[in-house]
Amino acid sequence: MKKIGIDARLYSQTGVGTYLKNLIFYLQKKQLGDEKYFIYLMADDFDKVIIHNKNVVKKIANFKWHTFLEQIGFAIQLYLDNLDLVHFT
């Protein structure tokens, strides 16, 4: 099974947030075979995203961008999830 992460921590921001909303919306409509997607969200956005596809999983990644904590904490979280690919927006 392929494990793909999507950094969606900018979900509520303008510009890239619109891209993320559409990406997650259409990703759930796609017939996913052996792929599992992990959507990493800030805690404030976690309840805003509704997932209908069993191959798409929401995870809280409450690491503010451009911080030291992001460089260490988020990297560890991604490493522990043992992903094959990460899409950073």
pLDDT tens figures, 63-88 = 998 999 999 999 999 999 999 999 99
**What CA–CA distance (Å, rounded) separates 39 from 77?**
12
**73, 87 Cβ separation under 8 angstroms:** no
> Cα(first)–Cα(last) distance of the chain, in Å?
23
pTM of the predicted model as reported, rounded to 2 decimal places: 0.93
pLDDT of residue 25: 94
Domain ranges of the chain: 2-88
